[in-house]
Chain A
Amino acid sequence: MKMFQVTGAAVLNTIERLGRAALFLYEILGNSWTLVRRFYLVIQQVFAVGVFTLPIVLVSGLFVGMVLGLQGYNTLVKFGSAQSLGLLVALSLLRELGPVVTALLFAGRAGSALTAEIGLMKATEQLAGMEMMAVNPVMRVIAPRFLAGVISMPLLAAMFSAIGVLGGNLVGVGLLGVDSGAFWSQMQDGVDFREDVMNGVIKSVVFGVVVTWIAVFEGYDAVPNSEGVSRATNHTVVYSSLAVLGLDFIMTALMLGDV
């Protein structure tokens, strides 16, 4: 009997939490339009969320591209098609690695910081204080952070992919001696703007929404003490990583579906 009660409580709790998260997203979106007049709030958060994530994204992008160049070359050279290296590097980055790895890094670097910040604001009753002063904390604190995350993600992913291609070019053309012309022409021949570049952008926008949503919700919903904040931060990283990887599979299946 006890076992059933525990399971039931856990399921109900999860559903309730999902419901609260959905209502919270609705509230954020409803409050977003007021930010048009106070756009500086969003800019400030883009600075905190996007600009500070840039170094880690650029460095990882460069190295991921270089590793792709090395690994791809060693496999392709067996089939005598090392010229396709550019295409391989560009497609893997644009379609998968760019959006996904950026989202994972973003969850680790910016998402956890957002959760901790908002959770701490809640624990120190700053959010309650705002409400006392008739300032809507969702509008003043949450919505700018959410919008900043959604704006930053596709930009970061694009930079990741671009510098990754550069890294692949560095290793492939510079170190391994793939012909530079073949590298770029095969890439341009095989990469389609709508099919590959835009689908990657769509993916990264979706990941931006999901990761930032999870981050701000976990912070807002955290148990307001030090242990609760640390657990919320932990949840943000775990849940958003899982959500990104799961959603990536679904979106890839949908995007490749009609080919």
Chain B
Amino acid sequence: MTNRKTVEVWVGIFVAAGVFALGVLAFRVGNLTTTDVENGYRVEARFENVGSLKVRSAITLAGVRVGRVAAIRSDPDTYQAVVVLNIDGRYKNLPTDTSASILTSGLLGEQYIELEPGGAEEYLKEGSRIKLTQSAMVLEKLVGRLLTTFIDKPADNGKKK
């Protein structure tokens, strides 16, 4: 039998290596460091169509992530989608006429919400509503619209060329 000290040293190394590996997975491989929205405040935005936006999708301001989508539900009265945005407490000075639009990263990438600040004097606070919104672009609808314009005005297109 190996003596007690050797056993303890090896087990110590083993456990430390295991915990270290878990730490690597959490911080290097995963996104534990960036997931949390600190002291967030929640604002609401209504969209005609949220596309494939999901809970925990990113909210960006000038391309920088400032929060995450906290909840998405449907409003039975207006048939609109209500998206609750959880915005980091550090970005408290967003004007009340900030607009929110659902964009897609890359051609087939994930959808996210981009905020564009307006010029109002007052700032958004917990529970306020973003009034200016732009819905997600749904590819099928876009293609459909494109096709109808082509079918409606074939002559026009020919003349221009």
Chain A residues close to B by CB (< 8 Å) = 40, 43-44, 46-47, 50-51, 54, 90, 94, 151-152, 154-156, 158-159, 161-163, 165, 184, 187-189, 191-193, 196-197, 200-201
Complex CA–CA separation, A133 to B158 (angstroms) = 102
0/1 string, B1-32, CB within 8 A of A gives 1 = 01010011011011101110110111011111
Q: Taking CB as reference atom, which chain B residue is nearest A161?
A: B25
Complex CA–CA separation, A193 to B26 (angstroms) = 6
Given contacts A47-B10, A50-B11, A162-B24, contact A94 B18 (CB under 8 A): no
Complex CA–CA separation, A191 to B34 (angstroms) = 11
Which of A44, A47, A158 contacts B25 (CB under 8 A)? A158
CB contacts (< 8 Å) of A47 on chain B: these are: 2, 7, 10-11, 14
Report yes or no: A156 in contact with B18, Cβ–Cβ below 8 A.
yes
CB contacts (< 8 Å) of B30 on chain A: these are: 188, 191-193, 196-197
CB contacts (< 8 Å) of A94 on chain B: these are: 25, 29
Q: Taking CB as reference atom, which chain A residue is nearest B10?
A: A51
CB contacts (< 8 Å) of B29 on chain A: these are: 90, 94, 161-162, 165, 187-188, 191, 197
Complex CA–CA separation, A79 to B20 (angstroms) = 35
Chain B residues close to A by CB (< 8 Å) = 2, 4, 7-8, 10-11, 13-15, 17-19, 21-22, 24-26, 28-32, 34-35, 56
CB contacts (< 8 Å) of B7 on chain A: these are: 43-44, 47
Residue in B11, B18, B25, B35 with the greatest tally of chain A CB atoms within 10 Å? B25
CB contacts (< 8 Å) of B28 on chain A: these are: 184, 188
* Chain B: minimal CB distance from A55 (Å): 11
Interface of B is mostly: helix
Q: Taking CB as reference atom, which chain B residue is nearest A189?
A: B31
Q: What are 20 A-B contacts with C-beta separation under 8 Å?
A: A46-B15, A47-B2, A90-B29, A152-B14, A154-B22, A158-B21, A158-B25, A159-B21, A161-B29, A162-B21, A162-B29, A163-B21, A165-B29, A188-B30, A188-B34, A192-B30, A193-B31, A196-B30, A200-B25, A201-B22
Report yes or no: A192 in contact with B31, Cβ–Cβ below 8 A.
yes
Which of A51, A161, A191 contacts B31 (CB under 8 A)? A191
Report yes or no: A159 in contact with B11, Cβ–Cβ below 8 A.
no
Complex CA–CA separation, A159 to B35 (angstroms) = 23
Q: Taking CB as reference atom, which chain A residue is nearest B15?
A: A155
* Chain A: minimal CB distance from B19 (Å): 7
* Chain A: minimal CB distance from B29 (Å): 5
Q: Taking CB as reference atom, which chain B residue is nearest A188?
A: B31
Report yes or no: A51 in contact with B11, Cβ–Cβ below 8 A.
yes
Complex CA–CA separation, A184 to B30 (angstroms) = 10
Complex CA–CA separation, A38 to B4 (angstroms) = 14
Report yes or no: B17 in contact with A159, Cβ–Cβ below 8 A.
yes
CB contacts (< 8 Å) of A152 on chain B: these are: 14
Report yes or no: B11 in contact with A43, Cβ–Cβ below 8 A.
yes
* Chain B: minimal CB distance from A199 (Å): 11
CB contacts (< 8 Å) of A151 on chain B: these are: 15
* Chain A: minimal CB distance from B18 (Å): 3
Report yes or no: B24 in contact with A54, Cβ–Cβ below 8 A.
no
Report yes or no: B34 in contact with A155, Cβ–Cβ below 8 A.
no
Report yes or no: B11 in contact with A193, Cβ–Cβ below 8 A.
no
Q: Taking CB as reference atom, which chain A residue is nearest B105?
A: A189
Complex CA–CA separation, A54 to B13 (angstroms) = 11
